[in-house]
Structure 1
Amino acid sequence: MPTTIEQEFEELDAHRRWQPLYLEIRNESHDYPHRVAKFPENRNRNRYRDVSPYDHSRVKLQNAENDYINASLVDIEEAQRSYILTQGPLPNTCCHFWLMVWQQKTKAVVMLNRTVEKESVKCAQYWPTDDQEMLFKETGFSVKLLSEDVKSYYTVHLLQLENINYVENLWITMYLKLLRLDVKRPLKSGETRTISHFHYTTWPDFGVPESPASFLNFLFKVRESGSLNPNHGPAVIHCSAGIGRSGTFSLVDTCLVLMEKGDDINIKQVLLNMRKYRMGLIQTPDQLRFSYMAIIEGAKCIKGDSSIQKQWKELSKEDLSPAFDHSPNKITTEKYNGNRIGLEEEKLTGDRCTGLSSKMQDTMEENSESALRKRIREDRKATTAQKVQQMKQRLNENERKRKRPRLTDT
């Protein structure tokens, strides 16, 4: 199977046909109505004027006065995969974003861009970066940071999403009961959910990752969490526009699933099928070429290519600590300890004694990793805050007069 795709890849490379192939895909892609996105009341909910969800596949917010959000449900039945592809939230749509995550029973959010790239704001800061929770009163949710795991090219956040409408709902329910009125529909009471936030931090603007290996390692970390499995709600995938990098991620994952099932795949046809659900998936010939490379390398690893597996093993050594620890000998949990995240290890009954010197070494390594994670986090927060402040100063001067931009994120 990979050999056939490899031959196709080599021929495309040899004849420099990536641009023609990309144009073929664009020309063969169908256009569907997207009228709702153009309603006057929805214009300020779109990051780009030329990227809109199709009416037939748009995600609808439930129990909301306005059900619109720039997000599309991409359903690939043969791969048993469903993704919600969406734009990077705007300051005024962060509340809608978390409402969607809650209503769709999403287990993970996959973010493929940085909030600020080349001095341009690509996405609002919709999740907390410290122990201060973020409140979204418009839709009644709060988000807390439970843990942060910083790697060399991606970061995994564990977030707590809470429905904070329960206080108001509880009083309404009690009032109705006092009036002896029948409460037909029981109201929620303070439900919380844990959301994994996978943030790929090294995908360059207007480009592709340096190698398929790092991208695939990230993809398989997401897979290992179980967040993409069909027994959960669809994972939310986003970049800035929700079509370029997000399309690449979804295409590679879908093709690898189909190959694992033993199906013959036609990458072009799979992409054309995915484009029926959201416009413009895969934005450049380079992203198309990278998708082929990642699918070829991923298929080799799945089929047990020892050289590829060794390469990934070496790559994984760059990680500061594992994102998911499946070790049977210990349970590693991260939780708040005062104003910082503390690492706690709970040994199981059968764990072997490692000696005092080993424990001291482990403690030193943990403290070193904690300090490094803290320093990286603080540097990133300071840089982002400075850039965002500069952008706000420029944007506030002419925000009302300026029209919505066209897509610049690829």
Structure 2
Amino acid sequence: MFPRPFWMKIPNTTIEDAFNKVTRTEIDRIRAGDTWTHSVAAKPQNKLRNRYTDVFPWDKNRVKLPSKHNDYINASHIDLPDSRYIASQGPLRQTIHHFWSMCYNESQRRGEDDIIIVMITPLVENNRKKCEKYWPDESWDLSSLLKEDQIDLPSMNITNDRSTSFSKFTLTELSLTVGDDVKKVWHYYYHDWADTRTPSDGLSLIELSNQVHKLKSTKKVQVPIIHCSAGVGRTGTFIALDYFNIHDELLVDAENSDPIYELFQLLRNDRLLMIQTLEQYEFLYEFFSKVVLKDFPFEKK
């Protein structure tokens, strides 16, 4: 029998206070500047590379494109204990080739042959475009766009190989060819999660997480790329779900600590607005309380 973890006993008012505290800290960081800056994202030449005017990567850990001309993309390195991710905004029409350049360059830096992308947003929601469809039905040649933006890659072609449908998401397998190098892309498109809301089916996200981690182990991919529309709310919440799905011992063994709050702080350290709303933050407590209670025998007291 396990003692019931401390975080499962925290009242909703305390959870709300903790969320507001981290949000205030983030506002103070932006005002203070120093190490918490986003000056590259705010440059006039990068205005059209940002989907929203209030969601930027911190300068200190932003992902960089392979370009000496302009290496900016709205994406952040997320470094957690024993796990790493890239959190990105959903591509705009004018940044599709930037996104694929990032995918290739980051994979190449780590010496990997496969790329995993998890997309957690519909393309259109409430008649508003949330993400450009950045993968082809058949094939695309993006080489001329690389040249226009002075991205240091010789050429780029993307081919759609096949798709497999699951209840809440679709897996599309693509081939990304740069010069003579071909990388396999595993693109997961989860389409049942409304913006700023909590997911309607947390277990389907766990199923998605399990698939991603099976691929990570068999294909030896270290860093999956996660994005929604802005790359903060659903993206941050999914990363938290994925992280605790693999590191459930952190939840079970937390007799005197709150690992959800600790992870929330780490995510906000690496990207602005991660786990964007109080409802998303509360969802993590509610969902994992049910999962942990179901899977582990706890003392009744």
TM range (shorter): 0.7 to 0.9
Pick closer, same or farther for the CA change 1:256–1:214 going to 2, 3 Å.
closer
* d(CA) in 2 for partners of 1:251, 1:113: 17
Q: What do the CA deviations read for 1:5-42 (whole angstroms, capped 9, x no partner)?
A: 56335x22xxx555433212212344411100011111
Q: Does the CA-based 8 Å contact 1:154-1:201 persist in structure 2?
A: yes
* d(CA) in 2 for partners of 1:303, 1:224: 23
Q: Given the two structures, how large is their TM-score scaled by the length of structure 2?
A: 0.82
Q: What do the CA deviations read for 1:96-138 (whole angstroms, capped 9, x no partner)?
A: 100000011162000000110110001111012x3x2022122
* d(CA) in 2 for partners of 1:88, 1:144: 20
Report the counterpart of residue 260 of structure 2 in structure 1: 267
Report the counterpart of residue 99 of structure 2 in structure 1: 97
* d(CA) in 1 for partners of 2:68, 2:139: 24
Q: Does the CA-based 8 Å contact 1:216-1:298 persist in structure 2?
A: no
Pick closer, same or farther for the CA change 1:148–1:4 going to 2, 3 Å.
same
How far apart are 1:47 and its partner, in Å? 0.5
Report the counterpart of residue 198 of structure 1 in structure 2: 188
How far apart are 1:215 and its partner, in Å? 2.1
Q: Does the CA-based 8 Å contact 1:85-1:242 persist in structure 2?
A: yes
How far apart are 1:195 and its partner, in Å? 0.8
Matched, 1:220 2:210: yes
Q: What do the CA deviations read for 1:236-268 (whole angstroms, capped 9, x no partner)?
A: 100000000000011222234333477645211
Matched, 1:27 2:24: yes
Runs of 4+ in 1 over 4 A off after TM superposition: 297-305
Q: Which amino acid aligns with 2:8?
A: Q
* d(CA) in 2 for partners of 1:227, 1:89: 27
* d(CA) in 1 for partners of 2:264, 2:123: 27
Q: Does the CA-based 8 Å contact 2:116-2:221 persist in structure 1?
A: no
Q: What do the CA deviations read for 1:144-174 (whole angstroms, capped 9, x no partner)?
A: 11111112211111111111xx3xxxxxxxx
Report the counterpart of residue 84 of structure 2 in structure 1: 82
Could you say what secondary structure the match of 2:91 adopts? Answer: coil
From 276, 291, 298, the counterpart of 1:283: 276
5+ long unaligned stretches in structure 2: 31-35, 108-113, 147-154
Aligned length: 271
Q: Given the two structures, how large is their TM-score scaled by the length of structure 1?
A: 0.61
Q: Does the CA-based 8 Å contact 1:256-1:295 persist in structure 2?
A: no
From 41, 55, 59, the counterpart of 2:63: 59
Could you say which structure has the greater relative contact order, defined with CA pairs below 8 angstroms and 6 or more residues apart? 2
* d(CA) in 2 for partners of 1:295, 1:228: 27
* Percent identity for Structure 1 against Structure 2: 30
How far apart are 1:64 and its partner, in Å? 4.4
Report the counterpart of residue 143 of structure 1 in structure 2: 158
Q: Does the CA-based 8 Å contact 1:228-1:235 persist in structure 2?
A: no
How far apart are 1:283 and its partner, in Å? 1.1
From 110, 114, 119, the counterpart of 2:118: 110
* d(CA) in 2 for partners of 1:221, 1:298: 18
Q: Which amino acid aligns with 2:163?
A: E
Could you say what secondary structure the match of 1:152 adopts? Answer: coil
Q: What do the CA deviations read for 1:39-60 (whole angstroms, capped 9, x no partner)?
A: 1111110111111100000001
Alignment of 1:139-178 (within 5 A): 139=146, 140-163=155-178, 166=179
Q: Which amino acid aligns with 2:72?
A: Y
Q: Does the CA-based 8 Å contact 2:156-2:177 persist in structure 1?
A: yes
* d(CA) in 2 for partners of 1:98, 1:7: 41
* d(CA) in 1 for partners of 2:213, 2:296: 17
* d(CA) in 2 for partners of 1:146, 1:222: 19
How far apart are 1:62 and its partner, in Å? 1.9
From 59, 65, 73, the counterpart of 1:69: 73
5+ long unaligned stretches in structure 1: 167-189, 306-410
Q: Which amino acid aligns with 2:185?
A: I
Q: Does the CA-based 8 Å contact 1:107-1:233 persist in structure 2?
A: no
* d(CA) in 1 for partners of 2:218, 2:54: 29
How far apart are 1:300 and its partner, in Å? 5.5
Q: What do the CA deviations read for 1:153-206 (whole angstroms, capped 9, x no partner)?
A: 11111111111xx3xxxxxxxxxxxxxxxxxxxxxxx11111101111111233
Q: Does the CA-based 8 Å contact 2:16-2:278 persist in structure 1?
A: yes
Residues 203-212 or 98-107, more deviating: 203-212
* d(CA) in 2 for partners of 1:103, 1:249: 24
How far apart are 1:298 and its partner, in Å? 4.7
Larger Rg: 1
Pick closer, same or farther for the CA change 1:85–1:17 going to 2, 3 Å.
same
Provide the alpha-carbon RMSD of the alignment: 2.5
* d(CA) in 1 for partners of 2:6, 2:279: 17
